[in-house]
Chains A and B, each alone.
Chain A
Amino acid sequence: EAQVTQNPRYLITVTGKKLTVTCSQNMNHEYMSWYRQDPGLGLRQIYYSMNVEVTDKGDVPEGYKVSRKEKRNFPLILESPSPNQTSLYFCATKRLTSGSHNEQFFGPGTRLTVL
Chain B
Amino acid sequence: AQSVTQLGSHVSVSEGALVLLRCNYSSSVPPYLFWYVQYPNQGLQLLLKYTTGATLVKGINGFEAEFKKSETSFHLTKPSAHMSDAAEYFCAVSDFSGNTPLVFGKGTRLSVIA
- Residue B90 lies at the interface, judged by CB distance under 8 Å to chain A: yes
- Residue B18 lies at the interface, judged by CB distance under 8 Å to chain A: no
Q: Which residues of A contact B107 (CB under 8 A)?
A: 42-43
Main SS at interface, chain B: loop
Q: Which residue of B lies closest to A99 (CB)?
A: B98
Q: Which residues of B contact A45 (CB under 8 A)?
A: 101-102
- Which of B40-48, B61-69, B75-83 is the interface stretch? B40-48
Which of A's residues lie within 8 Å of B, judged by CB? 4, 31, 33, 35, 40-45, 48, 50, 58, 90, 92, 96-104, 106-109
**Cβ contacts A to B, 21 pairs, < 8 Å:** A33-B101, A35-B104, A40-B106, A41-B106, A42-B90, A43-B44, A43-B90, A90-B44, A92-B44, A96-B98, A99-B96, A100-B51, A101-B49, A101-B51, A101-B94, A102-B98, A104-B44, A106-B43, A109-B41, A109-B42, A109-B43
A43-B44, A48-B101, A98-B99 given; 11 more Cβ-contact pairs under 8 Å: A4-B43, A40-B106, A42-B105, A92-B44, A97-B98, A99-B97, A101-B49, A101-B94, A102-B98, A104-B44, A104-B46
Which of B's residues lie within 8 Å of A, judged by CB? 9, 32, 41-46, 49, 51, 90, 94, 96-99, 101-102, 104-107
